[in-house]
A = this chain, B = another copy of it.
Amino acid sequence: MYHEVKTNFVYLLHPLPGILITSIGKNNNPNVMSASWITPISINPPLISISLRPERYTYELIKETGDFAINIPDYSLRKAVFICGRFSGRKVNKFKKANLTPIPANKIKSPIIKECLAHIECTLEKIIELPADHHLIIGRVQYAQAHEEIFKNTYIPEKFKPLLYFGKDIYGTIETFEQVKIEEI
């Protein structure tokens, strides 16, 4: 039997990756927040969209400095991702609280996170201000890297335990996987 889902409709689209976004202010103070409403939106040019509430400190810093980084943790970092979703960088040094280390990026001013397994460095392409509680931050990829042990053309599922977020503080990871082959169809 189906039941109607109202406000929680957003969680029907989860589990989504638990991702860490880093940014930096003109005062050189780095910040980190967790987010899941992120998706690639174009290969050429290489674009990514992030939904952000305009009152978030990260939103302010991205507008100020014009770049940000996407950092991919694995399942072992679920408590760090939880912490980076619960506190505001206006009040708390979340790197310290979550035991994460900001290190210099390759092409942008915002830092990347040492403990993460892949990083995507973006410049701010455009903000789409929707009449909605979140706006769309469109980033253009300037550089991307991954640990060679876990990513070839895509993640190597035998080697990578992705962090996926169900909503409501529940995190999980993938243990069963299969490559579907056209000959089996």
Contacts and interface: CB of A to CB of B under 8 A. Distances in A.
A55 interface: no
Contact of A79 (B6, B42, B176, B184): B184
A127 interface: no
Nearest to A44: B133
A40 interface: yes
B13 A132 contact: no
A41 B134 contact: yes
Copies in the complex: 2
A51 interface: yes
A94 to B, nearest CB: 12
Interface residues of A, number: 85
Contact of A170 (B3, B51, B157): B157
Contacts of A169: 179-181
Nearest to A19: B13
Given A12-B151, A37-B41, A178-B172, A4 B166 contact: no
A9 B144 contact: yes
Interface in A160-182: 162, 164, 166-182
B12 A176 contact: no
Nearest to A168: B154
Contacts of A185: 79, 82-83, 86
A86 B182 contact: yes
A136 interface: yes
A70 to B, nearest CB: 7
Given A128-B128, A167-B154, A144 B6 contact: yes
B170 A177 contact: yes
The 3 closest A-B pairs by CB, nearest first: A172-B177, A42-B132, A154-B167
